Amino acid sequence: MELSNAVQALTGLAQLSRLSVFKTLVAAGPDGAQPTAIAESLDIPANTLSFHLKGLMTAKLVTQEKRGRMITYRADFTQMNALLEFLTANCCGGKGCAVTAPLRAHRANTRAVAS
């Protein structure tokens, strides 16, 4: 991933509404979610949400699938992987960052996100 692509991806996440939307989509998993549901869940006007979803699309962080008159959005982990790889390679000390050090026995852990 190039520097400019990293900026693009980071920009996609560097805003409260968008990060919330992305987080929601991640939580929604493979089923994804539709704008109406997201808007209600996060209490964001539909048009504002649409604006941010477009931003997430531009950042290539989400995908959309049209079925009839509804559109399902899903988090796209490919870009997220590339971003984390970039940050790990370019923005870490090379030894310390969280990626390599799984937080020594730090309550091994509540969520299914573990390594």
Partner DNA sequence: CACACAATTCGATGATACTGGAATTATGGA
Partner DNA sequence: TCCATAATTCCAGTATCATCGAATTGTGTG
50 binds DNA (CB under 7 A): yes
Interacting span for its own copies (CB under 8 A) from 40-48, 49-57, 62-70, 95-103:
95-103
5 binds DNA (CB under 7 A): no
1 binds its own copies (CB under 8 A): no
Helix then strand then coil, in percent of the chain rounded to 5, is 55, 10, 35
Q: Answer yes or no: are the C-beta atoms of 8 and 59 closer than 8 Å.
A: yes
93 binds its own copies (CB under 8 A): yes
Burial class (CB in 10 A: 0-12, 13-18, 19+), 34: middle
24 binds DNA (CB under 7 A): no
User: How many amino acids of this chain bind DNA (CB under 7 A)?
Assistant: 27
